[in-house]
Structure 1
Amino acid sequence: MSIKYTADHEWLQVEGDIATVGITHHAQDALGDVVFVDLPAVGASIDAKAVAGVVESVKAAADVYMPVTGEILEVNETLRDDPSLANTDPLGAGWFFKVKLSNPAELDGLMDETSYTAFSANA
């Protein structure tokens, strides 16, 4: 299992060819209190870097980008019912969706934790 990060402040926890995706602590800090999430449809095939959902807070709305190309296997219905989980537990119960990777080599273009920490310190 490994965790990767995007320049758009999404994280992926990868197990085999399945990745769980959410927003990072940095993203939820920048957004403020999350009040709504729009999640992709289960079964949808989405290309890397395409918009996969939306997160809205009291301050702003932001797109959630697909970090890798793949098929949506599951969405976090608990998050839909309680969007504040994106703030209180963004790397745990606040996950957004699970995706079956179509091209695992795309993971090579993402950051590891050390790289992301340095990147987000300057964001």
Structure 2
Amino acid sequence: MPFIFENEVGEKLAIVGFRTNIISYLTQQLHMPMTQAADTFTNFSGTASLTALLVTVIVYIQDNIGWSWGLGIPSIAMALQSLAYEKTKLHIVSDPKLLYDNEELKVSISASGKLLHTKQMKNSRNIE
């Protein structure tokens, strides 16, 4: 039983230390106002806490309904998320001279420091 108490105390100290450091970093290094830095930390910690609760629902489904449902629901959610965030409205540069250039690049996919222009990984809706 004392291990539970020690674990909780250690976790609380870690959270307080992280909060102090992240607020200082956001205000001093990124020049955020104190209110925006506090809101950013609150959103981060709230998202982390709610994610743990949502995963609890998935674990409950895996235990009581079955692993196929427990793995199927997150898989479907990831597929829908991929479709939602797909970069379909990005403009593709037609001139390869405007692409990434690095004179020190010495790999097999480069020609004189420039990455070769291919259409291999493009979305079919973006190909001109």
Shared fold (TM-score greater than 0.5)? no
- Structure number with the higher helix fraction is 2
| TM-score, normalised with respect to structure 2 | 0.18
Q: Relative to total residues, which structure has the larger strand share, 1 or 2?
A: 1
